[in-house]
Structure 1
C-alpha cells in the first residue's frame, strides 16, 4: 500500500467571501461553512472562531480536534463510516492543511472527556494545539437527553467538526501541494533479505473502548471499538482516516482524531524502516471492562505479534486507571511470547506524586516511557478572551475540574484565573508520541 499526503502549510486563517487557499492563507466563507454544518438539524446554534498561537485565548470545553483534509483521487469521504460510506483507506493521495486544526467546542455544556487549551502563557506548554491555528466550531445541540449528564456522547458536535474538517480540506483538492510525504510498506512476506535481517517491530495501540453502550468509544471505519478484537492494521489506515476519537476518557489521556492522523510514533517507525528496524505494522487492540476480556485481548495481541515474527513491540494505551490492567496484561503476554516490549503511558500518581503510578503492575513491564502525571495541579492566570464557556471547567464535571474543594475552592476563580488537574488539559499527555513531559527516576 502506498499513501501520498500532500501538505499545504497554513500560515494564516481568516474569514472571507469564498473558502479557498492561497499563498499559505486559508480563507473561510464563514456563513457558507455554518450553513453546511447546520444541515444537521441537531445543531441548534453554531459559530466559527479562530484562535492563533500567542493570543490571550482560553478554549474550553474542547471535545475533539481534526486536521482538515480531503481525498484527491476518489469521491470517498475523509472518514469512512462517519462522514460517508465505508471504503478502504491508506492508498492514493490525500491533501492535508498543516499547521491548523478544527476543534469541536461546546458553546455551554462540557463533560467528563472534555478539555482546555491555552493559546499563550504558561498553559500553552501543556498542549500541542496551542502551537496550531485552531478553527473552533462552537455550537450547541438539541441532545437534551444528555444535557446534564457528566458523560456525554457529543455526537452532533463531534460529527459537525469532522464534516467541517472535510469541507475546509476540499479547498485544496485541486491544488498542487507544497510537499508530498510518501508512506509505503512492502507486504510482510515480500520484503528483501536485508530488511528481514533487521529487528522486526510492531506498534500496539490500545484505543478507548470501555463503554458498553455505543457512541462513546473510538471508532474504526465507523465501528464502535467495544465490539472489536485485536487486528493487524496497515499503518497507512491509521493516519488516513480509518480511526476517529471517542468522547470517553479523561482529556489529557485522550487521543484526538488529529493524533491518529499525525501519529508521530508511526511516522518515526516509517523513518527507521529498512534502516534500523523492520516495521511490521500496527496491531490495533482495545480496552475492556472485565478481567476475562482483558486477558483474551492480550492473548490475541501476543499471538498476532508472535505469528508475524516480531522481535519487539511498542505498546501504547489510551487512558489510565482501568485501562492499566489491559496495558499490563498485554505487556506480560507479549513478553511471555518472546516479544521485547516498551510501553508508553501517563501515570496517576496523585497531586503529591506519591501514589502508585499504574493500577496494575508487573515485573515484566520493565521498560516504560512516562508522559507525566494526570493529577498534577496546574494554576493559570486569566485570559483576555474565552472561546466556549469557562464555567464549564468547574460546573460540568470535566475530569480535571471541580465546583468546590475544601482547600482549593472552585477550579474557576472570580478573576477568571483557574486551578485544575492536568487531567483537563486537552490531549495534553500525548501518549501517541509527542509529549513534552516525562518523569525521571533518580
Structure 2
C-alpha cells in the first residue's frame, strides 16, 4: 500500500475575499467556509476565529482538532464518516501543514472538552499552542446535550471535518512543497535484509467504553466498541481512517489531528528497514467488562504471535478503568515472549504519590509516562477568550470545578482539562524528569 502526502507549509492565516493558498499564506473566505458548517441544520450559529502561536488567547471548550487536508487521488477524506466508505491509505493526499481546525463550543462544554492557551504557562501543556488554529465556534439546537455532562458533540465535530476538507481543497490542484511517500509492503514482499530485523508491532487501544453509539472513536465510521482487535496498515491511520471520539477526559484524548500525525507510528515507519521490521498496527479497543477486556487481549496476542512479532509498543488512550485492558495486553504479549514498551498517562494525585495506574503488573516493566492527569495548574488571565470560559467550571469539564475560574479570569484546574495534554501518540514536547 503506497500513500503520498503532499505538504504545503502554512506560515500565516488571514481572512479574505476568496479561499486560496499562496506564498505560505492561507487566505479564507469566511462566508464560504461557514456554508460548509451550516450544512447541518442542527447548527444554529457559527463563526470563525484565528488563534496563532504567542497570541494572548484562551480557547475552551475544545471538542476536537482536525488537520486541513484533501484527497487528490485514491479515496476520500474521513471514509465512512463524512464521505462514502472507501479504502484509506493509498493514492495522494494534500495537507496544509501547520494549520488546524478546532471545534469549539460557543456555550456548552462537558466532561470530554478541553482548554488551549496560545501563550503563557498553559501553552506548554499542549502541542496545539504551536499551530495556526482556525477556531470554529458554534452552537446547536440539540437541547438534550446542553445540560448533559457527557456530550456526543457530533454536529460540531462533523462540521470541523467538513471545514477541514473545504480548506484542504484549495491546494488540491497545486504542486506540494514537500512530498512524503509512505509505502508499507506485505510481509512476503520484503527483502531478506528487512526480514532479518526484529519484528515490531504497534498496538493502539482506542477509547471505546461507551455502549451507546456516538461517543467512541470510529474506525472507517464503525464504532470501535463493536470491533475486535484488527490488523491495519499504518498508511490507513495516516490517511484519516480513524476519527476521535467524544468520551475521554480531554487531556487523555487522541484528537483526529493526532491520529493522522501519530508521532509514534511515524517513528516506527522511519525505523523500518533500519533498526526494525515494522509489521503493522493492531487496532484494539478499551472495554468495560472483564470478559471483554480478556477477549481483546487474547485477540491481540494471537495476531501478534501469528505475525511473528518479537517486540511491541502498546499505547493506551485514557486511564482508570482502561488501565486493566492495557495491563492485560502487556501480560499476554510478554507471556508469548514478545517484549513490550507501554505508553500511557498516569493518575498519581496532585502530590504525584498515588498509584499511577489502576492495574499493575511486574511484566509491565517498561512504560513511558506522558503526564499526570491530576497535575494542579494555575493559569493567569488571558486577554481574549474564544468560546466561553465559564464552561470550564459550570459544565463539568474533567479538569475544572465550581470555583475554578476566578473573577479576574485566572484559572485553577487540573491537567485533566487541558486539550490532548498527555495523549499517548507522542505528539507533544513534555519531558519526564526523575527526582
Indicate the SS of the match to 1:123: helix
* Contact kept in structure 2, 1:7 and 1:98, CA below 8 Å: yes
Q: Does 1:30 align with 2:30?
A: yes
Query: Which has the higher mean CA deviation after the structures are superposed, 30-39 or 100-109?
Result: 30-39
Query: How far apart, CA to CA, are the structure 2 residues paired with 1:9 and 1:219?
Result: 28
Indicate the SS of the match to 1:237: helix
Query: How far apart, CA to CA, are the structure 2 residues paired with 1:265 and 1:206?
Result: 13
Which string of whole-angstrom CA distances, capped at 9 and with x for unpartnered residues, describes residues 114-144 of structure 1? 0000000111111000000000000001111
Q: 2:417 aligns with which of 424, 430, 434?
A: 424
CA shift, 1:210, in A, is 0.4
CA shift, 1:193, in A, is 1.1
* Counterpart in the other structure of 2:325: 326
Q: Does 1:414 align with 2:407?
A: yes
Query: How far apart, CA to CA, are the structure 1 residues paired with 2:81 and 2:13?
Result: 26
1:153-192 pair list within 5 angstroms: 153-192=152-191
- Structure 1 unpaired stretches of 5+: 404-409
1:185-224 pair list within 5 angstroms: 185-224=184-223
Which string of whole-angstrom CA distances, capped at 9 and with x for unpartnered residues, describes residues 237-278 of structure 1? 001010000000011000000010100111111111100000
* Counterpart in the other structure of 1:43: 43
Query: How far apart, CA to CA, are the structure 2 residues paired with 1:47 and 1:343?
Result: 41
* Counterpart in the other structure of 1:150: 149
CA shift, 1:183, in A, is 0.5
Query: How far apart, CA to CA, are the structure 1 residues paired with 2:201 and 2:318?
Result: 20
* Counterpart in the other structure of 1:18: 18
* Contact kept in structure 1, 2:231 and 2:281, CA below 8 Å: yes
* Contact kept in structure 1, 2:258 and 2:427, CA below 8 Å: no
Query: How far apart, CA to CA, are the structure 2 residues paired with 1:352 and 1:438?
Result: 18
Query: How far apart, CA to CA, are the structure 2 residues paired with 1:422 and 1:269?
Result: 28
CA shift, 1:441, in A, is 4.7
Query: How far apart, CA to CA, are the structure 1 residues paired with 2:345 and 2:23?
Result: 40
CA shift, 1:297, in A, is 0.2
Q: Does 1:397 align with 2:390?
A: no
CA shift, 1:436, in A, is 2.7
CA shift, 1:430, in A, is 3.0
Indicate the SS of the match to 1:72: strand
Query: How far apart, CA to CA, are the structure 1 residues paired with 2:320 and 2:80?
Result: 30
* Contact kept in structure 1, 2:202 and 2:282, CA below 8 Å: yes
1:216-255 pair list within 5 angstroms: 216-255=215-254
Query: How far apart, CA to CA, are the structure 2 residues paired with 1:243 and 1:79?
Result: 8
Indicate the SS of the match to 1:104: strand
CA shift, 1:337, in A, is 1.0
Which string of whole-angstrom CA distances, capped at 9 and with x for unpartnered residues, describes residues 276-320 of structure 1? 000000000000010000011001001100000000000000000
Query: So what's the TM-score if we normalise by structure 2?
Result: 0.99
CA shift, 1:438, in A, is 4.6
* Contact kept in structure 2, 1:370 and 1:438, CA below 8 Å: no
* Contact kept in structure 2, 1:63 and 1:113, CA below 8 Å: yes
* Contact kept in structure 1, 2:58 and 2:385, CA below 8 Å: yes
* Counterpart in the other structure of 1:406: none
* Counterpart in the other structure of 1:435: 428
1:286-365 pair list within 5 angstroms: 286-365=285-364
CA shift, 1:159, in A, is 0.3
* Contact kept in structure 2, 1:369 and 1:438, CA below 8 Å: no
Indicate the SS of the match to 2:421: coil
Indicate the SS of the match to 1:79: coil
* Contact kept in structure 1, 2:218 and 2:242, CA below 8 Å: yes
CA shift, 1:431, in A, is 1.2
Query: How far apart, CA to CA, are the structure 1 residues paired with 2:421 and 2:408?
Result: 25
Query: How far apart, CA to CA, are the structure 1 residues paired with 2:25 and 2:432?
Result: 39
Q: Does 1:134 align with 2:133?
A: yes
Query: How far apart, CA to CA, are the structure 2 residues paired with 1:142 and 1:134?
Result: 25
Q: Does 1:285 align with 2:305?
A: no
CA shift, 1:435, in A, is 3.3
- The RMSD of aligned alpha carbons is 0.9
Number of aligned positions between the proteins = 435
* Contact kept in structure 2, 1:64 and 1:158, CA below 8 Å: yes
Indicate the SS of the match to 2:157: helix
* Counterpart in the other structure of 1:77: 76
* Counterpart in the other structure of 1:113: 112
Query: How far apart, CA to CA, are the structure 1 residues paired with 2:204 and 2:178?
Result: 29
* Contact kept in structure 2, 1:77 and 1:83, CA below 8 Å: no
* Contact kept in structure 1, 2:184 and 2:235, CA below 8 Å: no
Q: Which runs of 4+ in 1 moved over 3 A?
A: 438-442
1:355-394 pair list within 5 angstroms: 355-394=354-393
* Contact kept in structure 1, 2:36 and 2:159, CA below 8 Å: no
Query: How far apart, CA to CA, are the structure 1 residues paired with 2:184 and 2:36?
Result: 38
* Contact kept in structure 1, 2:317 and 2:423, CA below 8 Å: no
Query: How far apart, CA to CA, are the structure 2 residues paired with 1:246 and 1:438?
Result: 27
